[in-house]
Amino acid sequence: MSIGPDGDGAARLREMKRSDMAAIMALEEELFPEDAWSPEMFAAEFAQPPSRRLYLVAEQGNALVGYAGMMFTGGSQADVVTLAVAPARWGQGTGSALLMTLVDEAEKRGYEEVLLEVRKDNPRARRLYLRHGFDEVGIRRGYYQPSGVDAVVMRKVLG
């Protein structure tokens, strides 16, 4: 799947591979310096069976410019567990493409809703989720550690 302008400026989505970890960790630490996932957290996610997780990356040329992941609980809800886009790609549809690919997969798998948490102090991400039909349904106080920033819980009903 291509995103954005045709030609060299377009990004493509594909499933994440272990060989993406160095680029993912660099972007993770750039975007989330206070509460970045550790390499061990990503390794634990990769250890999960594909029926329980889906991780995607967005590439532009040979560069990784975004990634996202979803957890499939086996119940009625799926959870977006991470979504990140390189600042140079902000506003070009990369985050939307990653998000909607995950949501579409949840719908295909028969889930009734998608949940996620987003930092309360991240208005750009909150606007992205609101634009794509998510509603703010709650607050998790001090969710992000060690920063202690609250998380806004958001939900999208499918179907």
Q: Can you spell out the DSSP letters for 77-145? A: EEEEEEEEE-GGGTTTTHHHHHHHHHHHHHHHTT-SEEEEEEETT-HHHHHHHHHTT-EEEEEEEEEET
Find, among 28, 2, 31, the residue nearest to 124 by Cα. 31
Does 129 qualify as catalytic in the annotation? yes
Choose the catalytic residue: 55, 129, 143, 144. 129
Catalytic residue among 117, 136, 143, 144: 117
Reply yes or no on whether 117 is catalytic: yes
User: Distance between CA atoms of 24 and 30, rounded to whole angstroms?
Assistant: 10
Catalytic amino acids?
A: 117, 129
